[in-house]
Amino acid sequence: MAASFKNLIGGKWQEADGGATFDDINPAVNDDVIGRFPLSSPDDVDSAVGAARKAFAGWSRMPAPQRGEVLKRIGDILTERKDEIAFEMTREMGKPHFETRGDVQEAIDTAYYAASETRRMFGHTVPSELPNKFNMSIRRPIGVVGVITAWNFPVAVPTWKMFPAIACGNTVVFKPSEDAPHSGTLLVQALMDAGLPDGVVNLVHGAGKVGAALVSHPDVNAVSFTGSTETGAKIAKVCGGMHKRVSLEMGGKNPMIVMDDADLDLVLEGILWGAFGTTGQRCTATSRLIVHEKVHDKLVDMVCDAASRLKLGYGNDEGIDVGPVINPAAIDKVMGYIDIGKEEGATLRLGGERATGGSLDNGFFLKPTVFTNVTRHMRIAREEIFGPVLSVLKVDSYEQAVSVANDVQYGLSSSIYTNDVTLAFRAMHDIEAGITYVNGPTIGAEAHMPFGGVKQTGNGHREGGWEVFDFYTETKTIYVDYSGKLQKAQIDNT
């Protein structure tokens, strides 16, 4: 019988209001039911927000370095449980164990980084324009933060949001993806075991109506969302109407430019990791390969040969390179785009079908897929597929490569492979993206660097690094006049 799990509200584990549940299924081994989770309602959200609001007063008054000590303990516990959490994450969402270990490590890095930043919550002091007057600014927490995350990085991405939020003195209501509820539960359990006070982080499981209730709740002061561009647009509309702060991390259609002087062996390693790591289910996945015509044919042959030898299977088994896609809807979506690519006239060079045989029959597996003869106007070159599908476009110059790279609605990550330092530095400025890698694939964010995109990938905020702390704080300006008389700024300064 499958284990049963609960929401965490105000430090207490409890069932959903009404008792409804849903099952969490292993996408690689479909008869493995990981657990039964609460199918929560807006009433559960309201309770969680109330608990977060109650906890805010005490948590926000705690000296920031003391909050940092709690985050340090969280990092220590995640370090101790790294293999355990990674195993369960692979079981739940499919990517191989070596990838999920990296997911947990990113959470560990984020915990330690956020802990250190609690001693660096800088304000500013500046000269006043008037005598005997002191000017400064400080940073204050916002309040209750709603955190809604996707399933593909079910530990790392929630920590990008929650750890800076609580470091700044906010409290959180966390809604993980219904495709990765167990990972969210294990993460929150680690927070509680580290001594995080009751109500500072609350966990509410469920489907879309839970997220909608969280976004629209009047006592939620800020929302941080990772997911599709379509859902992000709806969230932005609600938050805009309610005048609440919102950070959106959405889709990508990330290009890798390969110039004719590139090291093709290095490029190949980058393509295999960038396009087929996490089965292509990353917002930063390398989904467009833009190749100079002089090396196009050779590189395509290398990619197809190497990708055909990647080993698919359950990611907790030894030697697995690529896991399953997350669910049947993902199978349908990716296969639909493969059909679109064929109809648009692209050449299917590799894959394009479900992977079957043996244990693969019991999971949601797709063969790594490569399309050539792709043009910039095809849908497979413009729309996010979120699967192991690589579209290859041929160009004749750096200028054409950049034009193709920029000709989409997204702008998250990008990459260029070249040994020409001039082109490398030009690309840093020319490519319209929040991230550019030189001689590396489009994936591989580091916890202490800003992460985010432009155009329809995001709304201007960044996760990770020092910039995320600006999102989770308000700047308060303070004037201290010790002149002993009324001074009128601008009026007395003329």
Mean pLDDT score across all residues of the chain: 97
CATH tag, 254-438: 3.40.309.10
3-class SS of residue 137: strand
64-80 helix and 156-167 helix, angle to the nearest 10 degrees: 160
Determine the average pLDDT of the residues in 374-394: 98
Beta bridge partners of 223: 146, 246
List, in order, residues 6 or more apart from 153 with CB less than 8 Å away.
Answer: 103, 106, 282
Answer whether 210's CB lies under 8 Å from 40's CB. Answer: yes
Beta bridge partners of 254: 286
Task: Say whether pLDDT at 494 is over 80.
Answer: no
Confidence class of residue 469 from pLDDT cuts 50, 70 and 90?
very high
Q: Which has more confidence, 489 or 87?
A: 87
Tell me where in the chain the CATH 3.40.309.10 domain(s) lie.
Answer: 254-438
Looking at residue 200, its pLDDT comes to 98
Per-residue DSSP letters for 322-351?
B---SSHHHHHHHHHHHHHHHHHT-EEEE-
Q: What is the largest CA-CA distance in the chain?
A: 86
Confidence class of residue 351 from pLDDT cuts 50, 70 and 90?
very high
Task: Say whether pLDDT at 202 is over 80.
Answer: yes
Confidence class of residue 44 from pLDDT cuts 50, 70 and 90?
very high
Q: What are phi and psi of 227, to 5 degrees?
A: 170, -150
* H helices, E strands: number in the chain: 14, 21
Tell me where in the chain the CATH 3.40.605.10 domain(s) lie.
Answer: 7-250+458-477
Looking at residue 2, its pLDDT comes to 84
Looking at residue 106, its pLDDT comes to 98
Q: Which of 96, 103, 23, 475 is nearest to 312 (CA)?
A: 96
The predicted-structure confidence for 294-339, as pLDDT tens digits, reads as follows 999 999 999 999 999 999 999 999 999 999 999 999 999 999 999 9
The predicted-structure confidence for 49-76, as pLDDT tens digits, reads as follows 999 999 999 999 999 999 999 999 999 9
| Fold type of domain 7-250+458-477 | Aldehyde Dehydrogenase; Chain A, domain 1 (3.40.605)
Question: Which DSSP letter does residue 451 get?
Answer: B
Of the residues 88, 92, 106, 283, only one is catalytic, namely: 283
What span, in angstroms and rounded, lies between the C-alpha atoms of 494 and 490?
6
Kindly report the pTM of this predicted structure.
Answer: 0.97
Task: Say whether pLDDT at 493 is over 90.
Answer: no
Of the residues 249, 318, 384, 432, only one is catalytic, namely: 249
**Positive or negative, the Cα torsion across 473, 476, 477, 479?**
negative
* Direct distance between the N- and C-terminal alpha carbons of the chain, in angstroms, rounded to an integer: 79
3-class SS of residue 279: helix
Looking at residue 492, its pLDDT comes to 84
The predicted-structure confidence for 96-146, as pLDDT tens digits, reads as follows 999 999 999 999 999 999 999 999 999 999 999 999 999 999 999 999 999
**In the structure encoding, which two tokens stand for residue 441, read together?**
């694939």
Answer whether 332's CB lies under 8 Å from 321's CB. Answer: no
Active site residue 239: no
List, in order, residues 6 or more apart from 444 with CB less than 8 Å away.
Answer: 437
Active site residue 249: yes
The predicted-structure confidence for 413-468, as pLDDT tens digits, reads as follows 999 999 999 999 999 999 999 999 999 999 999 999 999 999 999 999 999 999 99
The predicted-structure confidence for 221-238, as pLDDT tens digits, reads as follows 999 999 999 999 999 999
**In the structure encoding, which two tokens stand for residue 32, read together?**
């493995």
Looking at residue 79, its pLDDT comes to 98
Q: Which of 257, 259, 235 is nearest to 247 (CA)?
A: 235
